[in-house]
A and B are shown apart, each in its own frame.
Chain A
Amino acid sequence: MRSVLIGAALFSLGGLSALFVKEKFKSILFILFAALAQVCILPGVIQVLLSGGYLEMQLSFSEPIGVSFVRLDPLAALFALIISLGSFLAAVYSHGYMKMYSGESAELSSYFFFLGLMSSSMLLVVLVQNALLFLIVWELMSLASFFLVNYEHKKEDVRKASIYYLVAMQIGAAFLLAAFGWSSALTGSLDFNSFQSVVSSTGAYSVFIFILFFLGFGTKAGFVPLHTWLPKAHPAAPTGVSALMSGVMIKTGIYGILRILLLTGTPDVRLAYGVLIISIITGIYGIANAIAQTDLKKLLAFSSIENIGIIGMGIGVGMLGLVYNNPLITSLGFLGALLHTVNHFIFKSVLFYGAGIVYSQTHTRNIEKLGGLNNSLPLTSMMVLMSSLAISGVPILNGFVSEFAIYIGIAKSFSIDSIAVNIAALMGLSGLALIGAMALLCFTRLYGICFLGTPRSHVHSPSEEKIYSLLLPMAFLVVPMILIGIVPMLAISLVTSTVGLFLPGASTIVWLEIVSLMTTVSTSLAVFVLFIVFFLAVRKFLLRNKSVQVFKTWDCGYQQESSRVQYTGSSFAQPILQLVAELVPQKIQVHKDQVLFPVHASFESHAQDVSERVFIQPAVRLLNKFLNKFSWIQSGRMQQYILYGLLFLVALLLWIWSGK
């Protein structure tokens, strides 16, 4: 346990020592510390994950925290694994990526300092067991990431986005403060384990407290309608940070929800339905908006929301399994949720890293301007293709495995003799299918428009791809992406003990059933691979001494070739966006010359985040209206402030006098 804590501290130390060295060495020093941290953290984490035990250490603080534990149980270990690896990869990636900002020594210092602080605090978030300590490190994580999002603080939209992010995080933290405060008021303790009595379904206010926790953690994770910060903060941050935030940090929200669920035991049935339905909405809303985006990173941010929805569906299914005391459904649900957490970390990090390479090479994130990058960035293209396939749940890559587990969990709940569960299951089944199909649309669009075809405009043409610090983190993640896809048992054995935490009592038989099922799936996937190889070979054989000419694309007799006639991302998405126009309203501006022979015309369309308009803005307006009632306190008149001082002194005197 001590070594894990040391590892957590090493990230911050690395950031701190990077302050004092020359600009060139900052990143290298930080990577060194981050690598050392892996050596300290990973052995403990792997040991806990495989053995199912836990490591803990007692720490003594002064009041009000007092004696408290840090504990690495399988749930914490699983998240610590992705936090630790994700932070390391982000450090490596930053080495290459931050070269874009060379010359800004002070900014780079703060970048690595806060990157280290963020990594350390994320690790501590999953380790501490005391409510007050938790809130402190939670805030630390939010603040550190705020400064990272605000890296390009000279741009106005970045400043706006980061302030928005900070406010959203504070609102989430306020929910958590209320939830923890309420729980500790009821129990008189700050220790997580003592909260068991208030959040378990026998507790009088358990439903409300759970909802507060869900709102607080859900803001971090990005459940609709609390997600609005994601599509603003992710594009603003430097790419290494966006990848870390999307792949890792939002998962701390999932961690929080799971941690509370561990204390809850059998949840209230209404909560199970609630989580499931919110998650379905989150998934569909996220992917529908992702389809509408033209900014590469904004698209990926919305897709993160979608994936949080899928993870949430797994959690919801697991909760339903707990309610109906069905260990198979429970384990499939939580297995799916945890696997998808790991999987999403893998493919979303690769996608963000890829987007970063595209941005650093072409200086644009607008997919309508890109195209044909496959030729200039072949390695990036290949890896982005792999992760696009994985994130759409295509078999033989890891995304399919976790979605499959959730599907089976949902499908198994058709056997529960309750019409409400059956209807919920149908919503889950068709919802997940819709999300999957829309993800296919979204990522064929992303990959097809950016990397295939020919360049759509004269953007800065990519010069050199082989920046190893950018490519290596991607390649490092592509390996498990394929491995987990074909041999799911590799990942399943990592999460076995974590899933076990959620199951009351032993359930070896259930687990054996899942293992045998996954082995069968794995074998049939191998057959699929064989089929593909076979037909590729047949194709090669058939063409062995035939002529294969290379000619231009069939243009239906139209001779004026232009890369601008290619389908754009917006036109590709138009039919589906028309169908979901209520969910993703488009703001369309058309300018036409009102003359006989118009020369200039322009058309612009922007997708709007409808939930921001429906939920967030009215709430903000209401709050402003209420707070404005107090504006007279801050009148700006000196006399009034002197009066306040005077009143305060009089009150103080009265208080002292009454005390005597």
Chain B
Amino acid sequence: MILKALLFLFAAFSPLLFIGFINKTKAWWAGRKGASVVQPYYDFTRLLRKGEVISKTTSFVFRCAPSVNIAAAFFALLFIPMPLIGSIVSFPGDVILFAYTLAAAKFLLVLAALDTGSSFEGMGASREVTFSTLIEMAFFIVLGTLALLTNQISFEAIFAMLTVSAGYSLLVKILLVASLFIMLLTEGSRVPVDDPATHLELTMIHEVMILDYSGPDLAFMVYAAAMKMMLIALLIANLCVPPYVSSITATVLFLGVLIVLSVAVGAVESFIARSRMSHVPQFIFLMTALSLTAFAVVAFFLRGGLS
């Protein structure tokens, strides 16, 4: 019980570590020594201790948004199965509540950006909702594929059933992992969709939306964004780790997958330049295409073609 609680706490507090690993990877590829992997935690706690500067045009929406965002991120974590503990909350259809919780957070994030009346933040908000519209559809195709493959509609049951399927499931898993990786990059606001390290407001998406935040509110926003990335990374880990291995092995494999993912994100960031804004939808449509292919493969093998 205590072990499980510790494990969950670790998952709940690891998102910044994920960011730390990404930054370390980037530094390494660039030939720098780079900051320590726990540097994001120092930044986070420093922000928590600070006061705030709030724009005079803003309303309660602006003040509530960070708290709702971080609450939604933690709430969504309850649905994700993890080795040893499984999902904290699981019921048929939790996949939909998962997606809609994140959408609720996004609603307030976008409103908060518009609340400042800044043209830059409006710009970021506009891009954020556009891209997440496309992502949302592709993500539901992923969910549909998993539902068709396993006959289940809760994360825990889906990943527990992934073992029973036949040989083609490897292909399906690869396709789904690839499409979730695209989602990870997009929702996490990473290259090639967005550049977290850019210095020009005009080119930002996520960073520009939180320009006016400071102190604890900014800390919440940063944490929520990191957690969102972590959530998708955990989904990928669930796809990669087969359900029949022992819990201890699974835990180790999980950590391995997470580290590989953070290195992969860092590597993508080191080698690829950010796309032009008008090319980003094409990148996201790649996720739609991959997940549709996965669906077609499952439908073909499971239902024996068009009959």
Q: Would B51 and A573 count as touching, CB distance under 8 A?
A: no
Q: Would A418 and B71 count as touching, CB distance under 8 A?
A: no
Q: Which of B116, B126, B134, B307 contacts A574 (CB 8 A)?
A: B126
Q: Would A437 and B137 count as touching, CB distance under 8 A?
A: yes
Q: Considering the complex, which residues of chain A in the window 529-572 have a beta carbon less than 8 Å from any beta carbon of chain B?
A: 531-532, 534-536, 538-539, 542-543, 546-556, 563, 565-567, 571-572
Known: A417-B303, A433-B99, A553-B118. A411 touches B71 (CB 8 A): no
Q: Would A452 and B281 count as touching, CB distance under 8 A?
A: no
Q: Would A454 and B57 count as touching, CB distance under 8 A?
A: yes
Q: Would B215 and A543 count as touching, CB distance under 8 A?
A: yes
Q: Which of A375, A394, A434 contacts B107 (CB 8 A)?
A: A394
Per-residue contact bits, chain A 490-512, to B (CB 8 Å; 1 contact, 0 not): 00000000000000000000000
Q: Would B72 and A528 count as touching, CB distance under 8 A?
A: yes
Q: When chains A and B are docked, how far (Å) is the Cα of A396 from the Cα of B305? A: 41
**Interface range for B:** 35 or more
Q: Would A566 and B71 count as touching, CB distance under 8 A?
A: no
Q: Would B117 and A454 count as touching, CB distance under 8 A?
A: yes
Task: Report the minimal beta-carbon distance from B20 to chain A, rounded to whole angstroms.
Answer: 23
Q: When chains A and B are docked, how far (Å) is the Cα of A417 from the Cα of B123? A: 46
Q: Would A572 and B125 count as touching, CB distance under 8 A?
A: yes
Q: Which of B54, B59, B99 contacts A550 (CB 8 A)?
A: B54
Q: Would B75 and A527 count as touching, CB distance under 8 A?
A: yes
Known: A527-B89, A554-B118. A579 touches B103 (CB 8 A): no
Q: Tell me the nearest residue of chain A to B118, going by C-beta.
A: A553
Q: Would A418 and B303 count as touching, CB distance under 8 A?
A: yes
Q: Which of B72, B144, B211, B307 contacts A411 (CB 8 A)?
A: B144
Q: Would A535 and B71 count as touching, CB distance under 8 A?
A: yes
Q: Would A539 and B125 count as touching, CB distance under 8 A?
A: no
Q: Would B111 and A395 count as touching, CB distance under 8 A?
A: no
Q: Would B119 and A566 count as touching, CB distance under 8 A?
A: yes
Task: Identify the stretch in A133-141, A190-198, A516-524 within 8 Å (CB) of chain B at 4 or more residues.
Answer: A516-524
Q: Would A372 and B66 count as touching, CB distance under 8 A?
A: no
Per-residue contact bits, chain A 109-144, to B (CB 8 Å; 1 contact, 0 not): 000000000000000000000000000000000000
Known: A393-B100, A429-B141, A527-B89. A447 touches B201 (CB 8 A): no
| A404 interfacial contact with B, CB 8 Å | yes
Q: When chains A and B are docked, how far (Å) is the Cα of A333 from the Cα of B306? A: 26
Q: Would B104 and A567 count as touching, CB distance under 8 A?
A: no
Q: Which of B92, B114, B134, B201 contacts A448 (CB 8 A)?
A: B114
Q: Would B125 and A546 count as touching, CB distance under 8 A?
A: no
Q: When chains A and B are docked, how far (Å) is the Cα of A9 from the Cα of B167? A: 68
Q: Would A444 and B305 count as touching, CB distance under 8 A?
A: no
Per-residue contact bits, chain B 140-151, to A (CB 8 Å; 1 contact, 0 not): 110110011001
Q: Would A434 and B133 count as touching, CB distance under 8 A?
A: yes
Task: Identify the stretch in A56-64, A256-264, A420-428 within 8 Å (CB) of chain B at 4 or more residues.
Answer: A420-428
Q: Would B91 and A566 count as touching, CB distance under 8 A?
A: no
Per-residue contact bits, chain A 453-480, to B (CB 8 Å; 1 contact, 0 not): 1100000000000000000000000000
Q: When chains A and B are docked, how far (Å) is the Cα of A371 from the Cα of B100? A: 27
Q: Considering the complex, which residues of chain A in the window 241-259 have a beta carbon less than 8 Å from any beta carbon of chain B?
A: none
| B67 interfacial contact with A, CB 8 Å | yes
| A341 interfacial contact with B, CB 8 Å | no
Q: Would A411 and B93 count as touching, CB distance under 8 A?
A: yes
- Which of B70, B96, B143 has the most chain A CB within a 10 Å cutoff? B96
Q: When chains A and B are docked, how far (Å) is the Cα of A418 from the Cα of B56? A: 58
Q: When chains A and B are docked, how far (Å) is the Cα of A538 from the Cα of B64? A: 12
A-contacting residues of B (Cβ < 8 Å)? 48-59, 61, 63-64, 66-68, 70-72, 74-75, 78, 89, 91-97, 99-101, 103-104, 106-107, 110-111, 113-123, 125-127, 129-130, 132-134, 136-141, 143-144, 147-148, 151, 153, 201, 211-212, 215-217, 220, 277, 281, 295, 299, 303, 305-307
The 5 closest A-B pairs by CB, nearest first: A567-B122, A448-B114, A453-B117, A546-B51, A433-B140
B-contacting residues of A (Cβ < 8 Å)? 371-372, 374-375, 385, 389, 392-396, 400, 404, 407-408, 411-412, 414-415, 417-419, 422-423, 425-426, 429-430, 432-434, 436-438, 440-441, 443-444, 447-449, 452-454, 517, 520-521, 524, 527-528, 531-532, 534-536, 538-539, 542-543, 546-556, 563, 565-567, 571-576, 579
Other than the given A553-B57, A579-B130, 11 more pairs (CB < 8 A) read A404-B97, A417-B303, A433-B99, A433-B140, A453-B114, A531-B74, A535-B71, A539-B67, A553-B117, A553-B118, A554-B212
